[in-house]
Amino acid sequence: MLCPILGDEDIIPKWIAAILNKEDVFINGDGETSRDFCYIDNTVQMNLLAATTENDKATDQVYNVALNDRTSLNKLYQMIEERLIQRTQGLERKEPIYRDFRAGDVRHSQANIDKAQELLCYQPKYTISDGMDEAIDWYYHHIT
């Protein structure tokens, strides 16, 4: 599963279910809002590094778990749709429906992972694309 930074926790399963059910997908704003989406295995990797570190400076710290990258909602939608179309006979492309921006929503977010890289030697194993490949398979088998 992909875990986004700063909210939107349920956007991926909602969109997957809507696309598979040929329902409308709604995007708040113009779709160029971006997040630092991070595959769950990167989170596991980070926790294992933190739990097993022998670096005294790395203990009792708070770390950002992310990719240090941004993915727009439009790109995320495209990635999900493409992967589902490849797996689902008869599924066709459908444009999302854009709504007003949400009040108070952060336009772009990208986590800084420098501290984790320096103190734990954290290097995210999964990119957004790699994580999406894994996540789509799981969701496809559990939603359909």
Question: Which pairs from 98-105 meet CB under 8 Å and 24+ separation?
Answer: 98/26, 98/27, 98/28, 98/29, 98/30, 98/31, 99/26, 99/27, 99/28, 99/29, 100/28, 100/29, 101/28, 101/29, 101/33, 102/28, 102/29, 105/28, 105/29, 105/33
Provide the pLDDT for residue 50.
Answer: 96
| pLDDT surpassing 60 at residue 16 | yes
Residue pair 93/85 in contact by the 8 Å Cβ criterion = yes
- Averaged over 13-22, what is the pLDDT? 93
Secondary-structure breakdown of the chain: helix, strand, coil percentages, each rounded to the nearest 5: 45, 10, 45
Question: How confident is the model over 105-131, as a mean pLDDT?
Answer: 95
Domains of the chain: 2-143 (3.90.25.10)
pLDDT on residue 9: 56
Does the CA dihedral 64-70-74-75 come out positive or negative? Answer: negative
Nearest 10 degrees: Cα torsion 18, 5, 1, 84: 40
- Average confidence score pLDDT of the chain: 91
Percent of residues, the chain, with pLDDT higher than 90: 83
Residue 5 has pLDDT above 60, yes or no: no
- Residue closest to 41 by CA, chosen among 123, 139, 111, 142: 123
